[in-house]
């Protein structure tokens, strides 16, 4: 039998995972990774602050899929073939023990992303996957019997199967080299960013977090709950990052100028907060609100809210007018701020957009138009919130593609 060839474009998480699994499943398949740069797995290296947040301790497919603002239905299908449990098992069976942090993120026990890289490189060597660095793909031609792949300043290589896993792009014209394949591409926009509130007095409280908060984009139904962190330029933290992902397209349309409404202590709403103040007045009329923080907010944030509500530290609960009470409730439960811009979240960022999911069969990762052409990872219009979701999609799509390529290669 003539050995068939698979070329994987891109030496990132998705490309590696497809290459090493395909080579292991079919030792007769000649597998080549073509990487445009001089090194591989660079995002794995820097991910999770150098620790690599490999996946998520979430073992329910529906629950996990809900954390993908783009691709929820798509990953629900692909996760049935390779899920978080499979990722954990795959790495652990190769000697990479993983651990779970309190927030559900999973890291190698070594606390070093190099452990993941070493494991993938060992698999590459064990299964004789060929790595070709400085191979930047410029054009792909689909032929009757496979694909011709043109590289910058290199010879054309022919391949029976092709996986495109070259990551996300920030601009539409970065997909131009795929133009002749006539695939639908969703315009890329950034996801996972923090909100800027230039010169806002709240920024002086940088470093303070509100653990049980919620944030809503004014005039929309887009909202998110969880910790909010005040930074020296505005707001960050899980609730903000999650909202930035789900609202990525809406906020891009608004040119990142929008208003948010924040509930700093989401166990209350405005009416229950007012009720609670009346309770305080009844129980402790002579006590000063400055010393009567019942919200669980950090004391500096509580003092800020009192000051924003015009309540100085001479006032007692019994001194507060209805207007002051309502204002304090509004500031604590529906504080409005106007954002002017965004800042990239340095610890993890992805692009929303990419190859439209209508082009791809989620059960195989194969193009619906071209038999033998596969896609994996961030180049697809799939992205998750921060916390291990994006790597899980990379592992899953790489594995699912490998399985289907191997099946096609022996047909």
Stretch that binds ligand FAD, among 198-206, 281-289, 335-343, 390-398 (CB under 6 A): 390-398
HEC sequence for the chain: CCCCEEEEECCCHHHHHHHHHHHHHCCCCEEEEECCCCCCCHHHHHHHHHCCCCEECCCCHHHHHCCCCECHHHHHHHCCCCCHHHHHHHHHCCCCCEEECCCCEEEECCCCHHHHHHHHHHHHHHCCCEEECCCCEEEEEEECCEEEEEECCCCCEEECEEEECCCCCCCHHHHHHHHHHCCCEEEEEEECEEEECCCCHHHHHCCCEEEEEEEEECCCCCEEEEEEEECCCEEECHHHHHHHHHCHHHHHHCCCEEEEEEECCCCCCHHHHHHHHHHHHHHCCCCCHHHCCCCCCCHHHHHHHHHHCCCCCCCCHHHCCHHHHHHHHHHHHCEEEEEECEEECCCCCEEEEEECHHHEECCCCEECCCCCEEECHHHECCECCCCCHHHHHHHHHHHHHHHHHHHHHCC
The tokens describing 345, both together, are 């979240």
Residue 262 pairs in a beta bridge with 215, 335
Q: Which of 4, 7, 8, 11 binds ligand FAD (CB under 6 A)?
A: 11
Stretch that binds ligand FAD, among 9-17, 118-126, 252-260, 292-300 (CB under 6 A): 9-17
Q: Which of 4, 5, 15, 117 binds ligand FAD (CB under 6 A)?
A: 15
Least CB distance from residue 233 to ligand FAD, whole Å?
A: 19
How many residues line the site for ligand FAD (CB under 6 A)? Answer: 35
Per-residue string for binding with ligand FAD, 49-68, x by CB under 6 A?
A: ---xx---------------
Least CB distance from residue 184 to ligand FAD, whole Å?
A: 19
Q: Which of 166, 262, 274, 357 binds ligand FAD (CB under 6 A)?
A: 166
Interacting residues with ligand FAD between 189 and 218 (CB under 6 A): none
Least CB distance from residue 145 to ligand FAD, whole Å?
A: 22
Interaction between residue 137 and ligand FAD (CB under 6 A): yes
Q: What angle do CA 14, 35, 407 make, to 5 degrees?
A: 45
Q: Which residue has the tokens 């449990």?
A: 85
Interacting residues with ligand FAD between 357 and 386 (CB under 6 A): 377-378
Least CB distance from residue 224 to ligand FAD, whole Å?
A: 18
Sign of CA dihedral 377, 383, 386, 392: negative
Interaction between residue 119 and ligand FAD (CB under 6 A): no
Q: What are phi and psi of 240, to 5 degrees?
A: -70, -45
Q: Which of 349, 374, 375, 395 binds ligand FAD (CB under 6 A)?
A: 349
Q: Which of 6, 7, 8, 13 binds ligand FAD (CB under 6 A)?
A: 13
Task: Name the residue nearer to ligand FAD (CB basis): 197 or 395.
Answer: 395
Interaction between residue 348 and ligand FAD (CB under 6 A): yes
Report the phi/psi class of residue 296: left, alpha or beta, with left for phi > 0 and alpha for psi in -120 to 50: left
Least CB distance from residue 162 to ligand FAD, whole Å?
A: 12
Interaction between residue 48 and ligand FAD (CB under 6 A): yes
Interaction between residue 82 and ligand FAD (CB under 6 A): no
Stretch that binds ligand FAD, among 23-31, 122-130, 362-370, 387-395 (CB under 6 A): 387-395
CA nearest to 116, candidates 194, 190, 17, 235 = 17
Interaction between residue 136 and ligand FAD (CB under 6 A): yes
Stretch that binds ligand FAD, among 10-18, 118-126, 183-191, 217-225 (CB under 6 A): 10-18
Interaction between residue 47 and ligand FAD (CB under 6 A): yes
Interaction between residue 69 and ligand FAD (CB under 6 A): no
Least CB distance from residue 35 to ligand FAD, whole Å?
A: 5
Interaction between residue 399 and ligand FAD (CB under 6 A): no
Task: Name the residue nearer to ligand FAD (CB basis): 335 or 374.
Answer: 374
Residues that bind ligand FAD (CB under 6 A): 9-15, 34-37, 42-43, 46-48, 52-53, 135-137, 165-167, 347-350, 377-378, 388-391, 394
């Amino acid at each position: 039998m003539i050995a068939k060839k698979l070329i994987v474009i891109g030496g990132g998480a998705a490309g590696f995972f497809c290459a090493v699994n395909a080579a292991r499943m079919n030792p007769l398949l000649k597998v080549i990774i073509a990487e445009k740069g001089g090194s591989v797995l660079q995002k794995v290296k820097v991910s999770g602050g150098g620790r690599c947040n490999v996946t998520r301790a979430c073992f329910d497919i529906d629950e996990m899929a809900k954390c993908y603002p783009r691709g929820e239905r798509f990953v629900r299908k692909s996760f049935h073939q390779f899920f978080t449990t499979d990722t954990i098992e795959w790495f652990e069976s190769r000697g990479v023990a993983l651990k779970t942090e309190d927030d559900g993120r999973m890291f190698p026990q070594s606390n070093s992303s190099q452990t993941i890289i070493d494991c993938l490189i060992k698999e590459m060597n064990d299964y004789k996957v060929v790595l070709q660095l400085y191979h930047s793909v410029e054009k792909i031609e689909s032929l009757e019997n496979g694909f011709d792949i043109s590289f910058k300043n290199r010879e054309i290589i022919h391949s029976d199967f092709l996986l495109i896993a070259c990551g996300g792009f920030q601009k539409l014209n970065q997909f131009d080299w795929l133009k002749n394949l006539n695939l639908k591409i969703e315009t890329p926009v950034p996801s996972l960013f923090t909100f800027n509130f230039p010169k806002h007095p709240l920024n002086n409280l940088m470093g303070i977090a509100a653990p049980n908060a919620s944030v809503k984009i004014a005039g929309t139904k887009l909202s998110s709950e969880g910790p909010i962190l005040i930074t020296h330029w505005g707001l960050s933290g899980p609730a903000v990052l999650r909202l930035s992902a789900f609202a990525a397209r809406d906020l891009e349309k608004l040119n990142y100028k929008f208003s948010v409404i924040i509930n700093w202590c989401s166990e209350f709403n405005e009416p229950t907060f007012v009720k609670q103040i009346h309770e305080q007045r009844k129980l402790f009329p002579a006590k000063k609100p400055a010393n009567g923080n019942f919200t669980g907010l950090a004391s500096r944030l509580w003092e800020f809210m009192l000051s924003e509500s015009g309540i100085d530290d001479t006032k007692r609960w019994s001194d507060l007018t209805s207007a002051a009470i309502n204002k304090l409730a509004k500031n604590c439960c529906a504080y409005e701020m106007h954002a002017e811009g965004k800042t990239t979240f340095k610890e993890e960022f992805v692009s929303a957009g990419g190859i439209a999911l209508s082009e791809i069969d989620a059960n195989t990762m194969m193009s619906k138009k071209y038999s033998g052409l596969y896609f994996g990872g961030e180049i697809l219009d799939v992205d998750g919130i921060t916390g291990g979701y994006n790597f899980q999609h990379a592992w899953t799509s790489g594995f699912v593609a490998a399985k289907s390529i191997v099946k096609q290669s022996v047909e």
